[in-house]
Amino acid sequence: MDMSAVERLLTPEGWTLLSRMPPYDEDASLQLATGLRERGVDPDLVAAVMTQSRLRTRARAKFGAFADEMLFTPEGLEQATRLPVAARHAQRYASAGARLVADLGCGIGSDAMAMAGLGLRVLGVEKDEVTAAVAAVNLRAFDATVRHGDALEVDLVAEGVDAVFADPARRTRAGTRVFDPRAYSPDLDTLLALRETVPALGLKVGPGIPYRALPSETHAQWVSVDGAVVEAGLWFGPLAPEGSGRSALVMRGDRADVLSVAGDADAAAARAPSGPLKGYLYEPDGAVIRAGLVARVAEELDGTLVDPSIAYVTTTAERSTPFATGYRVLDSFDFGLKRLRAYLRTRDVGRLTIKKRGTAVVPDQLRQQLHLKGSAEATIVLTRLAGKQSVLVVEPLAG
């Protein structure tokens, strides 16, 4: 999307047309676009409206009903913070007593919206002209200013900024995801240096960031939403009341649970003991694994790992935890295609959920090789037991 498309959308005709669009449907989009052009609507406006309609439909997963009043760019939507997570970010700034937050690299304005929604003043700075224009539209109802420019050229002291949030770009121009913090734009070290000017600093980083890249004195938190790890955040000064360390924020529906460990954020993860398979199996949430807190979960569950290098915890009794998904173990045996196929056919299994960890087996390929035709449903876990590739037949625990 370019500036001309944004300008067309912001005309009375463009905004009215966009507001009247039905939920985007891929099959009906061509017919709808053709009908608009036949009625005399400018083809470029039709293209811009159809693009926004598609993006708004996708955006509802992150923004809910708010998406219907927003504009998006494809890249901005992909990197935008989900609204419930942005609300957690904003609460940190509000609790720290921030008055004016500089959102450096504000993207389409998702975090700025959440902060402004709590009554904070926000200065958003975005290097991409189109994205800055989109952010300005999205923040039109809030006490927020969006500036097109280089985030690092903002004089934080002169602006009266007392807290900073930064979400550096983590993709190349070709769209390839960047994992090395030194390749972020701006790079991590440059952003960390902002603490000398404004101690209240928050950074959104990729969830794959290695511990060795973290400053010792930060609170690093990995976040998952409905089972998917979506981000990691680094919090400093008054934005980290929990102190230095690492934590996992697990959000499911309206519930949010935090598991944390104090200490140096760059410390190696603690190791949990391993032992033989027992009657129950627990799969830690992805945020727990990323935060290096599997040993904490194993301790809370009074369990052991099924293998020293694999994040599956086994217990003798059923436990309750928001930080792992539990299963009852029904059976287990060494992995072999023929044996597994015969086992499932004997039990009339036709619908199979395949989970894996510590194995090179590709679930979709295995499912095709099994040629299942039964009416029953089953769940299997492919992993290692005592160093051997193994199959665990399990059933999910209620809740």
CATH of the domain at 204: 3.40.50.150
Q: Nearest-CA neighbor of 163 among 216, 222, 230, 91?
A: 91
Contact at 8 Å (CB) between 222 and 290?
Answer: yes
Residues 236 and 365 in one domain: no
274 within a domain of the structure (yes/no):
no
275 within a domain of the structure (yes/no):
no
Confidence class for position 2, pLDDT limits 50, 70, 90: confident
**Boundary residue ending a domain (33, 63, 93):** 63
Which pLDDT score is estimated for 386? 84
Strand order in the sheet with 349-356: 304-307, 310-315, 280-284, 324-334, 388-396, 376-385, 349-356
Give ∠ CA 43-44-50 in degrees, rounded to 5.
85
Q: Structurally, how many domains does the chain consist of? A: 3
93 within a domain of the structure (yes/no):
yes
45 within a domain of the structure (yes/no):
yes
Q: What average pLDDT score do residues 93-103 get?
A: 97
44 within a domain of the structure (yes/no):
yes
pLDDT of 399 higher than 80: no
Residues 236 and 92 in one domain: yes
Contact at 8 Å (CB) between 220 and 202?
Answer: no
Domain enclosing residue 372, as ranges: 280-396
Residues 130 and 249 in one domain: yes
Residues 218 and 103 in one domain: yes
- C-alpha 289/C-alpha 265 separation (Å) is 15
Q: Structure pTM?
A: 0.92
pLDDT tens-digit map of 226-254: 999 999 999 999 999 999 999 999 999 99
Q: Give strand pairing partners of 393.
A: 331, 380
42 phi and psi, to 5 degrees?
Answer: -50, 125
170 within a domain of the structure (yes/no):
yes
**Boundary residue ending a domain (38, 63, 88):** 63
Q: What average pLDDT score do residues 212-224 get?
A: 97
Q: Nearest-CA neighbor of 383 among 329, 341, 343, 345?
A: 329
Residues 168 and 90 in one domain: yes
Residue 100, CA distances (Å) to 86, 135, 197, 273 in order? 17, 17, 14, 47
Residues 58 and 130 in one domain: no
Q: Nearest-CA neighbor of 114 among 184, 242, 202, 197?
A: 202
Residues 141 and 220 in one domain: yes
Residues 363 and 321 in one domain: yes
Confidence class for position 173, pLDDT limits 50, 70, 90: low
270 within a domain of the structure (yes/no):
no
Residues 344 and 376 in one domain: yes
Residues 202 and 231 in one domain: yes
Which pLDDT score is estimated for 171? 75
Q: Nearest-CA neighbor of 384 among 316, 325, 305, 328?
A: 305
CB atoms within 10 A of CB 355: 17
115 within a domain of the structure (yes/no):
yes
According to DSSP, the β-strands at 310-315 and 304-307 are antiparallel
